[in-house]
Amino acid sequence: MNAKERLDKVFAKHHRSRDALIPLLQDIQEIYGFLPPEPMAAAARFCRIDPVEVYGVATFYAQFKFSQLGKNTVMVCQGTACHVMGGARILEEVMNQLGVEPGQTSKDGMFTLERVACIGACALAPAMVVNKDTHGRMKAEKVTEILNAYRNH
Amino acid sequence: MATGTLKINGQEVEVEKGSTILQAAEKAGIYVPVLCYHPLLPLEEACRICVVEDVRGDWSTLVAACVYPVRNGMVIQTDSPMVIEARKTIMELLLSDHPNDCMTCYATGSCELQDLAHIYQVKSTKYEGARHKYTVDSDPSPYLFIDMNKCILCRRCIRACHEIQGADIWTKVGRGFDQRISTAFGLPLAEAGCEDCGHCADFCPVDAIGYRVGRGEVRSWQLKGTATICLHCPSGCRAQYDTLKDKVVRVVGNAESPSNRGALCKAGRFNFNFINSPDRLRTAAMQNAQRELVPCSTDEALDAAAAALQKVRDSHGVNSIAVLCGSMLTNEEYYLAQKLARCALFTNHVDNASGAWQQAIHEAMSASLGFGAMPGSLQDIERAGAVLVMGSNTIEKHAMAAIRARKAARGGAPLIVVHPSPVPMTKTANMHLAIKAGSESALLQGLIKVILTEELYDKAFVEKCTQDFAKLERSVQKINLGDVAEKTGLSEEQIRDAGRLYASRRPACLVHGAEPLDNTANESFYRNCVNLQLLLGSVGVPGGTPCLMGFGGNGQGAGDFGALPKYLPGYRPVTSSPARKTAAKVWGVSPPDKPGMHCSKVFEAIERGEIKGLYLIGLNPLELVPNKKRLESALARLDVLVVQDCLSSELCEAAQVVLPAVTFVEKRGTATNCERRIQRLQPVLALQGDVRSDFDLINGLLGRLDGELQADSLESAFAEAGQLISDLNGLSHETIAPEGVQWPVGDGPAGAERIALPEGEKSKFKFAAVK
């Protein structure tokens, strides 16, 4: 199935109402990995909302992305426990190695970096999550090795 | 009505149930500061500057007065230490991320943030921290200057764009510190579909969205604001013109005006460069013996014009001269122009730019409804159950009708937009019928056919209020939906769907705006508009009217006051002997009995050499015809061309006499909008040079041609016209209410919002056979 067919299928699944907007946007993001403008405008027409309102709603939620993400997502926790255990040092190391700020994707398209407030793994602080794998008791020296593992995967 | 009582600062106030604390405070005359709140916009509760203390016995809490509803027995403190401290903190936080460059800011002196900082004596130095660094002047819009660093996120722009214009260009993006005001996907305004109405700038309390014009040159306290009536289109909006010396700097809508309620369109707000133009005519001119145009005094020019017109009249006969007016004159000026033509030049060749359309509207309404003008009001559109929009690109040309149609649509009314191209109105439409240009008449016939055949019409209304239904039914039998489909370029199914949709929610409003180059809007077209409305019981009821508009700013007044070739003032036919006798009693001269010609026919007559003299008053006829070259060479054949205008143009080169007039914003007098609302104009600028108002110029000519015909004053000209226009019922300049009066003038100050439903058998509305 190509993206267009998948999009049609997503629209068929939902009701044409305002309430359908967020689940609809989630499904669209599932297809593209982010929310491109054209499907968002289509969602607006579908839900009978003005495109500008859809854009306003979508940008409110951290879960929605507006550009293509990297192949892997790196989330570095900056919650209270991780902060106390040196989370900032881990984040700085990842930023240096990838050459990006939180919210950005590395030039090679391999990693998107995000800073998150708490991932609920305080016992493992400082923690970092790559895709769905949690890496606890992080040390700055371990960052290269972990990233390389995903790079070569 | 249920009421509640509360105490504000110890003062007892009784208010309606459901009132907010802010409304109660206003009623008690107690000041509560606001920023995000604006009386013309929906509530938002974004800034919290309006917090007040809600005292509940031994404890109290802060609530936002602008949204918090009044409870019976409530005790409110608006200036307690707790309140003042909270407001100061809010201000300090706002100023901590604001450029605070009041010294050079355009809004200085009219900035609401600055005013509050002054009231609460808040300085900007309390909190140091991150500040936004957005690009200054981030959008190439020719009208707006965007500097989001100044934005305080009150969201008034979003609400103004949505609520007033219905364009939905602005939104809030992101959250927390990253929240900002943006267009969809961050597109430039033009690409985002901005309609350049300027409402966002109007409502911005600071200068985040401001006007481009005057920036860096003008300070707010230098401006003098005067309100007058805009004559760009027939809506009759009251607008405040902010001027500095002899220049208009900006224009803002007047909230009290019933025609526009604070709104303005792109032309009304931004098209004022012609007033400030270096091409303004400031001195008169006339041709010398070598046929060169040389400057002269206005009195000399008037002498020359009178002599030249008189010479043509005497040597070529009475019907050899035509007087053609533009669409931005006042009622009094139209009245004098037609009096000049009829009584001094002895011709009925007098017309105005939109005369053909106004005359057709008048004749169709008279024939169908026994009432010769729009039977309802612009406000009806907002209350309509369904809206059908046809004719012009309404958002640009007839915006006050368009934004009301959008408002009805937001309230759930189906909106059908008929236009060959995807004009901005189609964005909010439930259905866009992209018909072939010029096929609107056919479409109307198709819609009538569908509504009749499928029995979707209002049988009770048809029975009770109309006659000649059988005539309509018979004529509709001949109509074939297949033919309509072919003429319009739509499918039969589309036409059926449109008919069903339009008939689905009554009452309905049909909005049609005429266009200068579209001659398909004729009497039979307008009668079909009324046919459709009568079928749906949508004439003479709140929320149901045909809203048929010409394109001339004061086209309605031009018709009412007699600047039409077939009608004397008050739509008295020139062909009727009693009508001429009545006029002769007022004027002392009997008008000619042969109907004159509309503008387009006059141009043809000039070409044929039948018209030898032409007096143009605020009209550039080259803007009215598709073939300019042809008209130019025709004009060259005239013996006498007198051009009276506020702007110099190519026409002046060909003129024997040029008379320098002024724009509508420099005039006194009255104008009448499409909903029959007569309003007074006030000059917003002083006259510069040897210029005069069109009234004084025409009156000067009248005096030179026949002293008896001259008017003593504007007021006396209006009163004199009133003797012929029975619907004015003795109205005078002094008795026109500030918000205007809708004729027919009755006992109340506001006049008639809409016509009454017929009571007797004879006065029933008439269906016409479709043609």
**B283-300: pLDDT as tens digits:** 999 999 898 999 999 999
Is A147 found in the same domain as A81?
yes
Q: Do A109 and A132 belong to one domain? A: yes
Cβ <8 Å between A52 and B173 = no
Domain end position, chosen among A15, A31, A60: A60
For A74-109, what is each residue's pLDDT tens digit?
999 999 999 999 999 999 999 999 999 998 899 998
Q: Is the pLDDT of residue A69 over 90?
A: no
* Residues B397-417: tens digit of each pLDDT: 999 999 999 999 999 999 999
- Among left, alpha and beta (phi > 0; psi -120 to 50; other), residue B205 is alpha
Q: Where are the alpha helices (DSSP H) in B320-398?
A: 331-339, 355-369, 379-382, 394-397
Query: How far B171 CA sits from the closest chain A CA (Å)?
Result: 6
Q: Indicate which CATH number applies to the domain containing A134.
A: 3.40.30.10
> How far is residue A27's CA from residue A15's CA, in Å, rounded to a whole number?
13
Backbone φ, ψ for residue B425 (5° rounding): -60, -25
**In whole angstroms, how large is the CA radius of gyration of chain A?**
18
Bridge partners of residue B324, in order along the sequence: B351, B616
Report how many Cβ contacts below 8 Å link chain A to chain B.
30
CA B653 – CA A66 distance, rounded (Å) = 60
Contact across the interface for A52 and B171, Cβ inside 8 Å: yes
Q: Are residues A96 and A134 in the same domain?
A: yes
The pLDDT score that the predictor gives to residue A153 is 73
At residue B517, the pLDDT reads 83
A85 and A107 co-located in one domain: yes
**Domain that residue A53 falls in:** 3-60
Cβ(B155)–Cβ(B38) below 8 Å = no
In a domain? residue A65: no
Looking at the fold, whether A145 and A100 belong to one and the same domain comes out as: yes
Q: What is the CATH number of the domain that holds A55?
A: 1.10.10.1590
Of B174, B175, B183, which is closest to A52 when you measure between CB atoms? B183
Site from A16, A34, A59, A66 to mutate, B interface, most B CB atoms within 10 angstroms: A59
pLDDT at B519: 78
Which residues touch B743 (CB under 8 Å, ≥6 apart)? B373, B560, B672, B676, B678, B725, B727, B728, B729, B731, B751, B752
Distance CA A150, CA A102 (A): 18
What is the CATH superfamily name and number for domain B369-549? Dimethylsulfoxide Reductase, domain 2 (3.40.228.10)
Number of residues in chain A: 153
What is the rounded distance in angstroms from the CA atom of residue B428 to the CA atom of residue B445?
Answer: 25
ipTM entry: 0.76
Q: Are residues A94 and A141 in the same domain?
A: yes
Band the pLDDT of B747: cuts 50, 70, 90. confident
Q: Which residue of B has its CA nearest to A66?
A: B185
Q: What is the pLDDT of residue B49?
A: 97
Q: Inter-axis angle of helices B694-705 and B298-316, to 10 degrees?
A: 50
Helix, strand and coil percent figures for chain B, each rounded to 5:
35, 20, 45
**What does pLDDT average to over chain A?**
91
Q: Is residue A42 part of a domain?
A: yes
Whether residue A66 lies inside any domain: the answer is no
Smallest Cα–Cα separation from B513: which of B359, B358, B327, B622? B358
Confidence band, pLDDT 50/70/90 cuts, at residue B543? very high
pLDDT at B750: 83
State percent of chain B over pLDDT 90. 92
The angle at the Cα of B607, spanning B602 to B613, to the nearest 5 degrees, equals 60
Asked whether residue A134 is assigned to any structural domain, the reply reads yes
pLDDT tier at B1, thresholds 50, 70, 90: low
- What is the C-alpha separation between B243 and B605, in angstroms, rounded? 43
Q: Nearest residue of B to residue A62 by CA position?
A: B174
Contact B168 A50 (CB under 8 A): yes
Average pLDDT score over residue span B738-762: 89
Burial B643-669 (b: 16+ CB within 10 A, else e): bbbbbbeebbeebbbbbbbbbbbbbbb
Please determine, for residue B540, whether its predicted confidence score (pLDDT) is greater than 70: yes
Tell me the pTM. 0.91
Q: What is the mean pLDDT of residues B179-198?
A: 95
- Provide the number of structural domains found in chain A: 2
Burial status of residue B286 (CB atoms within 10 A of its CB: 0-12, 13-18, 19 or more):
buried
Residue B333 CA, distance from chain mean position: 20
Same domain as A90, residue A53:
no
> Which residues of chain B are in CATH 3.40.228.10 domains?
369-549
**Chain A interface disruption, residue of B171, B194, B427, B432, most A CBs within 10 A:** B171
Contact predicate B37/B65, CB 8 Å: no
DSSP B626: S
pLDDT of residue B587: 97
- A17 lies in the same domain as A88: no
A125-135 residue pLDDT tens: 999 999 989 99
Q: Is the dihedral of CA A16, A21, A23, A25 positive or negative?
A: positive
CATH code that applies to domain B3-95: 3.10.20.740
Cβ–Cβ gap B185/A53 under 8 Å: no
Residue-level pLDDT at B420? 96
- Reply yes or no on whether the pLDDT at B539 is more than 80: yes
CB A37 to CB B174 under 8 A?
Answer: no
CA gap B320, B318 in Å, rounded? 6
> Across the interface, which of A37, A50, A53 has its CB nearest the CB of B185?
A37
Same domain? For A90 and A147 the reply is yes
Amino acid at B164: I
Q: Is residue A67 part of a domain?
A: no
Question: Where among A39, A60, A81 does a domain terminate?
Answer: A60
Q: How many residues does chain B have?
A: 771
Mutation site for B-interface testing, chosen from A52, A60, A65 by largest number of B Cβ within 10 Å? A52
**Residue B269 confidence (pLDDT) above 90:** yes
Chain A contact probe: residue of B153, B157, B163, B173 with most A CBs at under 10 A: B173
Q: Do A140 and A79 belong to one domain?
A: yes
Question: Tell me: the pLDDT tens digits for B99-158?
Answer: 999 999 999 999 999 999 999 999 877 788 889 999 999 999 999 999 999 999 999 999
Same domain, yes or no: A50 and A89: no
> Which residue type sits at B445?
Q
Q: Which of B157-171, B474-488, B745-759 has the least mean pLDDT?
A: B745-759
Residue A15 lies inside a defined structural domain of this protein: yes
Instruction: Tell me the per-residue pLDDT of B432-448, one tens digit each, with 9 for 90 and over.
Output: 999 999 999 999 999 99
For residue B306, the number of C-alpha atoms closer than 13 Å in the C-beta half-sphere is 19
CATH 3.40.50.720 fits B284-354+562-736, yes or no: no
Q: Residue A3's pLDDT is what?
A: 82
Domain co-membership, A30 together with A84: no
Characterize B108-128 residue by residue with b for buried, 16 or more Cβ atoms within 10 angstroms of its Cβ, and e for exposed.
eebbbbbebbeebebebeeee
pLDDT of residue A149: 93
Q: What is the pLDDT of residues B346-388, one digit of tens each?
A: 999 999 999 999 999 999 999 999 999 999 999 999 999 999 9
Average pLDDT in the B627-642 region?
Answer: 94
Residues of B in contact with A51 (CB under 8 A): 168, 184-185
Q: Do B171 and A56 touch (CB under 8 A)?
A: yes
Q: At CB < 8 Å, which residues of chain B contact A? A: 168-175, 182-185, 192
Query: Which pLDDT does position B636 carry in this prediction?
Result: 92
Range among B216-220, B533-537, B726-730 rated most confident: B533-537
Q: Report the candidate in B5, B3, B116, B9 with the shortest Cα–Cα distance to residue B52.
A: B9
What does the pLDDT average to over B463-480? Answer: 96
Answer whether B516's CB lies under 8 Å from B551's CB: yes
Q: Report the pLDDT value the prediction gives residue A138, as an integer from 0 to 100.
A: 95
Cα distance between residue B390 and residue B416, in whole Å:
9
